[in-house]
Amino acid sequence: MEWYEYLIKRVLLLVPTLFGVSIFVFFLVHLVPGSPAVAMLGVRATEERIAEIENDLGLNEPLPVQYIDWFTGVLTGDLGQSYSFNGPVSSILVDRFFVSLELVLLTLLVSLCVSIPLGIAAALYKNSPIDYFSMSVGITGVSVPTFFSGVVFIAIFAVWQGWFPVSGYVVPSEDIVANLRHMALPTLTMTLVAVAVAMRMMRSSMIETLGEEYIRFLKAKGLRRRSVLFGHALKNSFIPVITVIGLQFGYMLSGAVVVEQIFAIPGLGRTVLQAVLQRDYPLVQGAVLLLAVWFSVVNLLTDLIVSFLNPRIMEEET
């Protein structure tokens, strides 16, 4: 199978998934016990206001018509009106998307810079202090709740030492330094989890590669240790790490909800939470849809990169 055929196949597979996602997101509103309009407005709402909202949401139409209306809107970028933010959902989401994107990219960058060297070192010096250190970082990272580490970091680095602001957000185009200072602790909090998983994968993958026949052959051939490591072993050990990072991305988006909430960063995660708390259904739908599409596209890209690096995977999957 050629790579482009695989690419087309994977993209086509995404279509039914995203179609299912859209149906799920659409039906969310219909899972609400009673009328969503009453849930949004509270029991003290007037009859007229309820009728108005129900009309706005198109709840009086038959379901298939409602779905088609909603889905046409999604395709044309019209996700309805947000009640709690008083504006079109799509423009709210666009602003917040870039805030979350910055957080996620910073986390990705920092966690790769830490986890790859640490993972390699742990693999090379198995059962040494550095290996034990990496193992304890690994276990702590996946076991500490994000909200706990976030709160502890605020206490230590913001309240006690005063190195970073406690919370808030500055637009990077306004003041990039202030922006990064505000992003430092949120990134650190998210990185702790991301490092744990990527580093353990790097370590086990490196150990496995180093045990392979061809690496032993290269060593036996008299190739320098450094060129065996960095020329051959590293490249092959990267592949499972990339897969893991792709999967990690979902956890990062989940983690962003918590981190953005603690540090009062106006990103997508915080928006979802606020929308849920406010029962702002059009905004919940829009944000959840956007996050699912984002996650799916990243997963697709990860699979494509991995299959590009290791063409055998394409054969295994068909």
| Residue from the set 7, 28, 264, 305 that interacts with another protein by CB under 8 A | 28
> Contact between 70 and another protein (CB under 8 A)?
no
- Judged by beta carbon, residue 113 or residue 145, the one nearer another protein is 145
> Contact between 229 and another protein (CB under 8 A)?
no
**How long is the chain?**
318
- Using left for φ > 0, alpha for ψ between -120 and 50, and beta otherwise, residue 200 falls in alpha
Binding piece for another protein, criterion CB under 8 A, among 4-12, 64-72, 102-110, 287-295: 287-295
> Contact between 121 and another protein (CB under 8 A)?
no
SS3 assignment, position 265: coil
| Residue from the set 121, 275, 306, 314 that interacts with another protein by CB under 8 A | 275
- Shortest spacing between CB 291 and another protein, in angstroms: 5
Separation in Å, CA 163 to CA 65, 108, 169, 308: 55, 22, 16, 43
- Judged by beta carbon, residue 172 or residue 250, the one nearer another protein is 250
> Contact between 16 and another protein (CB under 8 A)?
yes
> Contact between 41 and another protein (CB under 8 A)?
no
| Residue from the set 7, 26, 32, 313 that interacts with another protein by CB under 8 A | 32
Q: What sign does the CA torsion over 158, 162, 164, 166 have?
A: positive
> Contact between 288 and another protein (CB under 8 A)?
yes
| Residue from the set 46, 76, 86, 143 that interacts with another protein by CB under 8 A | 143
- Shortest spacing between CB 296 and another protein, in angstroms: 5
- DSSP, res 158: I
Binding piece for another protein, criterion CB under 8 A, among 91-99, 106-114, 235-243, 291-299: 291-299
Block residue for tokens 């994977």 = 10
What type of residue sits at position 244? V
| # residues contacting another protein (CB under 8 A) | 54
Binding piece for another protein, criterion CB under 8 A, among 48-56, 59-67, 148-156, 229-237: 148-156
> Contact between 18 and another protein (CB under 8 A)?
yes
> Contact between 236 and another protein (CB under 8 A)?
no
| Residue from the set 11, 68, 94, 151 that interacts with another protein by CB under 8 A | 151
Q: What is the dihedral of CA 141, 146, 149, 152, to 10 degrees?
A: 180
Q: Bridge-partner residues for 78, per DSSP?
A: none
| Residue from the set 2, 4, 12, 33 that interacts with another protein by CB under 8 A | 33
Backbone φ and ψ of 174, nearest 5°: -80, -50
- Judged by beta carbon, residue 79 or residue 275, the one nearer another protein is 275
Q: Quick one: which of 311, 287, 282, 302 has its CA closest to 96?
A: 287
- DSSP H helices, the chain, are 3-31, 36-41, 47-56, 63-75, 89-124, 129-143, 146-153, 176-210, 213-220, 225-227, 234-262, 268-278, 281-309, 312-317
Cβ-proximal residues to 94 (8 Å cutoff; 6+ apart), any chain: none
Block residue for tokens 């500055």 = 170
> Contact between 284 and another protein (CB under 8 A)?
yes
Per-residue tokens: 116: 């790859």
- By the criterion CB under 8 A, which residues form the site for another protein? 16-18, 20-21, 24-25, 28-29, 31-33, 39, 139, 142-148, 151-152, 154-155, 159-160, 200, 204, 207-208, 211, 249-251, 253-255, 257-258, 261, 272-273, 275-277, 279, 281, 284, 288, 291-292, 295-296
